[in-house]
Amino acid sequence: MADLARLFQPKSIAVIGGGVWCSNIIEQCRKIGFEGDIWSVHPRADQVAGLRCYKRLEDLPHPPDAAFIGINRFASIEAVKGLADMGAGGAVCFASGFLEAAGEDAEGVNLQRQLLEAAGEMPILGPNCYGFINYLDGALLWPDQHGGERVDTGVAILTQSSNIAISLTMQRRVLPIAYVVTVGNQCQQSLGEIGAALLADERVTALGLHIEGFGDLRAFEALAATARRLGKPIVALKVGKSTQAQTATISHTASLAGMDAGAQALLDRLAIPRVNSLPEMLESLKLLHMFGKLRSNNIASVSCSGGEASLCADLASDLDITFPPLTRFQREGLAAALGPMVALANPLDYHTYIWNDVAAMTAAFRAIMEDPVALTLILVDFPRADRCNPKDWACTVEAALNCAKMTDRPIAMVSTLPENMPEEVAHRLLAGGVAPVFGLNEALVAAEAASIRGAQYLEPEPILLPQNVPAVVLQTEAEAKAMLARFGVSTPASAIAISPEEAASAARDLGFPVVLKGIGFAHKTEAGAVCLNLKNGAEVYAAAAKMPCTTFLVEEMVGDSVAELLIGVTLDPAHGYVLTLGAGGVLTEIMRDRQSLLIPASRQDIKRTLQKLRVAVLIDGYRGVNGADYEAIVDAALSVQNFVVENAGKVAEVEINPLLCGVDRAVAADALIRLAKEIE
């Protein structure tokens, strides 16, 4: 890994160029209080932003630790070469027109290659990149305005969007931000490498990622390992849930998995919680900055309104957080503080009997913070100071701050509406050890993100990386089943027939009832090429005669299944081989009940994933019905995985649907495989 510390924590900065962007950097460095050297480089100007210009890079007093290159793309390549040759610490390439413009300008690909060659071992951010702000040291290579301020410690935010980065610096949620870094094209330094370098700064407490694409997956795995080793949590906002660009739609697996399944599976594998909005990411980072990972997902909610208590419970119903029942110790403490008129529960409506009694409010808040609660939320919406008098709400702040002084247990003050948390109040809470959270939904999502432990993923096996698979061929069902059977998948007894007469004869040999399928169809039901539960030769002959084909697969009819599942694998070009488990058979498209993992997955991972499915109630046994053989189901999934691992680079897609799950076996009733070429 390149040494990025010199770039991100520079003692000297060179600004190359003379436009408004370069002037902004010089002025912003002065404003933020950068104490190192700032040099301007321009071949013709005498000064930029009042700073004397050096005509050439060679004229600088010594190689800069960091350089902002604010000139055109052709000149940028020359400047990068000059900086690398003189031993500079790194550079930000602001110019566009490189790989990101390849669709409009074929020269962009070649220029990006030249840029990489010019940089050599010197780290570069970009091109098409705004750069970074280091609020810890006041070091800034940032050509625009920003809304941040110097901090002693804080979170790092890494984004692939410069415009989003600008917006994040303008946040008024009092989140201490240590770094904001944009990556542009990631032509050299990947998200994973940059993230690891930021976490290595001991003053950074947590990392927030805005991700459009992961890029180097091995670097991302290394980033997660670094975060675990340092005990610094990561939270991610991954965009791109749309399935519009999904191209492989032959199987149900492909249509179910979509573009986003691989991304989610990667984050799950690395135990990186995912949020869905910028406010959720900021509030999650705030909790992680103040408290680190929570001990559990047990939370308590305290408000003076039954409406707020109900709203809190409802918003949390789809999240992986719980409101544990009050213990006897909590009840005794609350009863002593609140009196007999308040019904004690979690979420708690403490009414207003003790309003403005700071001692009583402190006692009540402190009582509910006890085990098993890992985070206590105090719900308070402050009046508008321009139209109302917020003086009477000061008691809630005092009580919360008192609790923070009395214990190290995490406590947050939450406004149900984000705008109802005054910034000055938030600053006071933050300084006193109480997390000020803007928005109830954001608070609950943040609690879920902060409580994800990921202990079972401490040492995940490296994923099977994406590979280019040549033009693929769809195997027949019989061929697919034969291939999978060699890897341990259980399949029905079967025979191939080339006429209705042969089909009837084969059925008599197998024994009735049987299933008859036409060979050569990806979706046999839609083509009228499957008939179930045929009980005699005449039924088999008649069914075969009606099918739009001349070759048939005759199989034993597998009965007494408890549940029907889908096991599928698709090759995701961005994330590798994605293993999808879900409801199968006729329920596949209706229920869209599925979970995905990246290959290789362990037996424990697969079993845990199966238990997340809604149809898990059927697998477990429902209303007196015996459950399915979990181990047989897991064995089937592992067999499919082994087939994929053995044929990585050749296989593009595998699906068993349905897998008939019985009390003592799991049988592949149908199978589909797409291969680059026949496996010998």
- How far apart CA 70 and CA 63 sit, in angstroms, is 18
Q: What is the pTM of this model?
A: 0.91
Annotated domain spans of the chain: 1-151, 294-451, 493-556, 563-675
Confidence of residue 187 (pLDDT cuts 50, 70, 90): confident
* Spatial CB neighbours of 386, under 8 Å, sequence gap ≥ 6: none
In this structure, how many other beta carbons lie within 10 angstroms of the beta carbon of residue 539? 18
Report pLDDT for 192.
Answer: 94
- How far apart CA 179 and CA 198 sit, in angstroms, is 8
pLDDT above 90 (res 102): no
- CATH number for the region 563-675 comes to 3.30.470.20
Compute the average pLDDT of residues 281-289: 98
Residue % of the chain over a pLDDT of 90 = 80
pLDDT above 90 (res 123): yes
Q: How many CA atoms lie within 13 A of 596 on its CB side?
A: 27
Q: If DSSP codes are grouped into helix, strand and coil, which group holds residue 466?
A: coil
Of residues 26, 61, 19, 21, the one with CA closest to residue 40:
26
**For 493-556, which CATH superfamily applies?**
ATP-grasp fold, A domain (3.30.1490.20)
Of residues 529, 557, 564, 566, the one with CA closest to residue 654:
566
Of residues 113, 58, 116, the one with CA closest to residue 87:
58
- How far apart CA 297 and CA 322 sit, in angstroms, is 6
Phi, psi of 302 (to 5 degrees): -130, 125
Report pLDDT for 185.
Answer: 83
| Amino acid residing at 437 | V
Report pLDDT for 249.
Answer: 38
- CATH number for the region 294-451 comes to 3.40.50.261
Which tokens go with 176?
């201490």
Cα torsion at 632, 637, 640, 644 (round to 10°)? -150
Same fold, 294-451 and 563-675: no
- How far apart CA 674 and CA 99 sit, in angstroms, is 32
| Amino acid residing at 417 | L
345-to-114, 298, 325, 376 alpha-carbon distances in Å: 66, 14, 7, 14
Report pLDDT for 453.
Answer: 58
* Spatial CB neighbours of 533, under 8 Å, sequence gap ≥ 6: 513, 515, 557
Domain spanning 1-151, CATH class: alpha beta
pLDDT above 90 (res 622): no
Of residues 300, 311, 419, 314, the one with CA closest to residue 366:
300
In the block, which residue shows the tokens 């009196």?
Answer: 339
Supply the mean pLDDT for the chain.
91
Residue 105 gets which letter from DSSP?
-
What one-character-per-residue DSSP string does 500-547 give? HHHHHHHHHHH-SSEEEEESS-SSHHHHT-EEEEE-SHHHHHHHHHHS
Computed over its alpha carbons, how large is the radius of gyration of the chain? 31
